[in-house]
Structure 1
C-alpha cells in the first residue's frame, strides 16, 4: 500500500480500506457500531472521512473485522498520518476544505475540470487570479489575506510542472474566455498563458463554443479526480455558498463523468485551441490595422 505525504489523501485511503474491510465481513455500519458500543453516526463519519480515528479505536475496529498482522501496521500508519492536516502551509486565509481538496488533487492520476465562467485556477495568470480573488473577497478579508490566497493559487500550479503530474483535461466554456477579467491586457496575457500550457504533455484544453447553444455543462463547474486502480473517483462541484462539495455517490459521479465525455465530443479539438484563442484575442483589440486611434474599452 503506497503512502502519500498528504494527510487528506491518507485519510481517504484509510476510509476506503476500512469500508472494504467491513464489507468483507458482510456487516452493516449499524451492526458494527452496535458490536463496539459506538453510535452509528461515529462509524459513518469515520468511513466518510469527516473525522479521523484514534489508534485505539482503529485497532478495536480492525480486531472486530478480523484484520491481523502487517495490514494493521499499515492502516495504523495511515491513521496517524491522516490526523496531521494543517492550514499552516498557506496561512489561515485559505480554508481547510480547500487545502484538503488540493491535497487530494495532488495525488490523483487524472483530473477532469469543467468551467463555465472563469479560467480554471491551475491555468490562471497571477493578475487574473488576483482580480478573481479580490472580486470574491468579503469586507473582513485583508489585503494580506488576498496576497496569501493569490500566492497559494500560484503555488498550486506547481502541479503542472511536476514530472509525475496527473493527466489533466480542462473543458472551458467560451464565456470564460470572453469575460473581461481585469481588462483586455490581463485577458491577452491570460489567453497567451493557455496557449503555452497546452503545449505540455498530458495536458489538454478544449473549448465549448457559443454556437453549441445550451449544453449539459450549463448547470455549473465541476471537477472529477481519478485515483490509482482500486481507488474510486471523487467528484467536486461548486455549492450554493461558493465552496466545494464532495459527493462520493457512485451514480452521481458516473453521471458527471459521462457528461464530461459528452462535452469532449462536441468541444473544439485540442489542436484547434490556438486558432480559437486567436479569434478571441482579436476581439480584445478591435482597432483596425494602421489606425492610431486609442484602443476601445467597450
Structure 2
C-alpha cells in the first residue's frame, strides 16, 4: 500500500489530489471510515482515492469539500485530475476547446464528445478496452461542463445521418442519446444539423473535423487519425476547413428539419415516438 510519504504530490494531479485528501482528512481528525460515513461511501474508497488507485468523481469531490469545509478545494482540483485522464495527445486540444468562443464540428461516424450521454460515451470508449473506463468516461463528461458555464461557447454541430443509425451501446442507449440531441434544442448556444443521406457526395467525405475560434488567439483546425489528433493554425488549412464547413452547413437539413429527422429515426429504428422538441409520446 502507498503511504503518505511515498506519494509525490508534484507527480501528477491525481497524486496531488490523493496527498491533499489524506492531509486534510487527518488534519480534521478523521479516519478513512469516519470520512466515508459522512459522505456516504466506504472507508476503502477513501483509501483507494488517497492511494491513487481510484480516480475521484466530481460528486465525490463536492461531498468531501462539504465534509471537510475545504471551500471548494477538491471541486476545483478534480477538473485537473479528470483532464489528466484524457489521452496525452488529446489533452492540449481539450485545453483549447475549453477556451474557445465558438466551436463548429462535422462528425461522420459518432456523436460529438461534448454532446454524448454517459452511456453512449462508455460504449464508445469501451470498444478497445474497459481498463480505467470509469475514469475515462468521467473525463469525457467533465469536458461537457463548458456548455454549462455562465458564458458558454457557441457550438454548431453537423452530424452525418449515419451517426443516427449506427447503433452504439444498444437500442436503449441510442434512444437516450437521440433524445438528448433533441433536448439540446432548448439551449440556444448549441445547434445541431443533420447531413442527410440524400445529400450524396459532400465536402465532409475526407472525414470528421472541428474548427475552434477564439476571442484573443488564432483560430484552429482539428482533425484525428486512428493514432492521434492534429491541431493547426495554418491559414490555408483554416481557409479550406471553413469553406468545407460552409458547404456542409448548406447541404445539411435546417435546424427544424434536422430535429424531425432525428425523431423519425428514433421512431423507425429504435421504437420510440418522440416529438421534435425531445418529448416522447405514447
TM-score, normalised by the number of residues in structure 1: 0.62
1: CA distance between counterparts of 2:240 and 2:163? 24
Q: Kindly state the Cα deviation for residue 249 of structure 1 after the two structures are TM-superposed.
A: 1.4
| Unaligned ranges ≥5, structure 2 | 1-78, 273-282
- 2:264 aligned counterpart, secondary structure: helix
Instruction: Tell me the matched-pair count.
Output: 195
Classify 1:285/1:171 alpha carbon distance in 2 versus 1 (closer, same or farther; 3 Å).
closer
Residue 169 (structure 1) aligned with residue 156 (structure 2): yes
Q: Kindly state the Cα deviation for residue 159 of structure 1 after the two structures are TM-superposed.
A: 1.1
Q: Kindly state the Cα deviation for residue 190 of structure 1 after the two structures are TM-superposed.
A: 0.3
- Report if the CA contact (8 A) 2:101-2:213 is conserved: yes
Aligned mate of 1:193, from 171, 180, 184 = 180
- 2:107 alignment partner in structure 1: 115
- 2:210 alignment partner in structure 1: 223
Ranges of 4+ aligned residues in structure 1 off by more than 6 Å: none
Aligned mate of 2:265, from 280, 287, 296 = 280
2: CA distance between counterparts of 1:262 and 1:277? 21
Classify 1:91/1:221 alpha carbon distance in 2 versus 1 (closer, same or farther; 3 Å).
closer
- 1:220 aligned counterpart, secondary structure: coil
Classify 1:91/1:113 alpha carbon distance in 2 versus 1 (closer, same or farther; 3 Å).
closer
Q: Kindly state the Cα deviation for residue 91 of structure 1 after the two structures are TM-superposed.
A: 6.7
Matches within 5 A, 1:259-270: 259-270=244-255
Q: Kindly state the Cα deviation for residue 218 of structure 1 after the two structures are TM-superposed.
A: 1.5
Which digits, 9 at most, give the CA deviation of each residue in 1:143-198, with x for residues without a partner?
Answer: xx111110011111111111211110001000111100011111110000001112
- 1:55 alignment partner in structure 2: none
Aligned mate of 2:141, from 128, 151, 154 = 154
- 2:156 aligned counterpart, secondary structure: strand
2: CA distance between counterparts of 1:178 and 1:214? 18
Residue 104 (structure 1) aligned with residue 91 (structure 2): no
1: CA distance between counterparts of 2:170 and 2:82? 28
**What's the Cα RMSD here?**
2.0
Residue 254 (structure 1) aligned with residue 239 (structure 2): yes
